[in-house]
Structure 1
Amino acid sequence: MKPSALSTHVLDTAAGIPAEGMAIELWRMEPEPRRLVRTITNADGRTDAPLLPPETFAPGRYELRFEAGPYFAARGADPGYLGTVVLNVGLREGQGHYHVPLLLSPWSYSTYRGS
């Protein structure tokens, strides 16, 4: 079985740059919601360490919470209507590396399972 892990990165598609300085939280949603990680993206729009490395990975439902509104406000941009972007994901054992990129502007966002 492949070891599983979770990572992310954020791209500011309005400016065409990595989203440096964005706060991200990872929550485990079961059996009760519990925050596991709070981190800030680096100059590459990535976290310095995986959100869930293989040694702490557990299957289940998780939420990634990206603080998009404060990120745009700190850059002097109108945050539009985005505040916190919440992605609810289900992670299974043996599926390898889960990478969840976020592409966003003040008006929209998209995501996918990356590699």
Structure 2
Amino acid sequence: MAGGISIHAVDVSSGRPAQGLRVEIWRTEPVATRIAEGRLGSNGQLDDPVVGGSGIEAGEYEVRFHLGEFFAGGAGASFLTVAPFRFRIEEVDEHFHLPMKFTRWGYSLFRGA
């Protein structure tokens, strides 16, 4: 897949995709602009035109994972509220896949293949 930003999140404490987790994707320069927002589907992935490259330009980006909301109403409050991930895109034809593994206490996030 050429271009775009894709997200796949898994709640490792339950071993399930993070269905319903709200995420926002922002281009942070030159002016902060939200380019995508949505909730992850049953497969733990974001279904948005940004996945195919819509709205992607060279620059800095931030994805915000709203983990506090995700765990609200469950057994025990979440230690984490919003987990941000900042990165730079220089080549807009490259695809940026961001797999996230998390619990209510911590997370791991990186650029995947």
Q: TM-score, normalised by structure 2?
A: 0.89
Q: Does 1:73 align with 2:69?
A: no
> Deviation string for 1:34-83 (max 9, x for gaps)?
11111110001101235353343211100000100110114x13233100
- CA contact 1:18–1:44 (8 Å) conserved in 2: yes
Report the AA paired with residue 100 of structure 1. L
Partner SS, residue 51 of structure 1:
helix
1: CA distance between counterparts of 2:42 and 2:108? 20
What residue ranges of structure 1 are gaps of 5+ in the alignment?
none
Report the AA paired with residue 89 of structure 2. L
Q: TM-score, normalised by structure 1?
A: 0.88
1:54 alignment counterpart: 53
2:96 alignment counterpart: 98
Report the AA paired with residue 30 of structure 1. E
Paired-residue identity, %: 32
Partner SS, residue 86 of structure 1:
strand
What residue ranges of structure 2 are gaps of 5+ in the alignment?
none
Shift of the 31–11 alpha-carbon distance from structure 1 to 2, 3 Å rule, reads same
2:13 alignment counterpart: 14
Give aligned pairs, total. 113
What are the equivalent positions in structure 2 for 1:83-94 lying under 5 Å apart?
83-93=81-91
Partner SS, residue 35 of structure 1:
strand
- CA contact 1:3–1:93 (8 Å) conserved in 2: no
Task: Report deviation, 1:95.
Answer: 5.7
- CA contact 2:7–2:97 (8 Å) conserved in 1: yes
Task: Report deviation, 1:3.
Answer: 3.7
* Higher strand residue share: 1
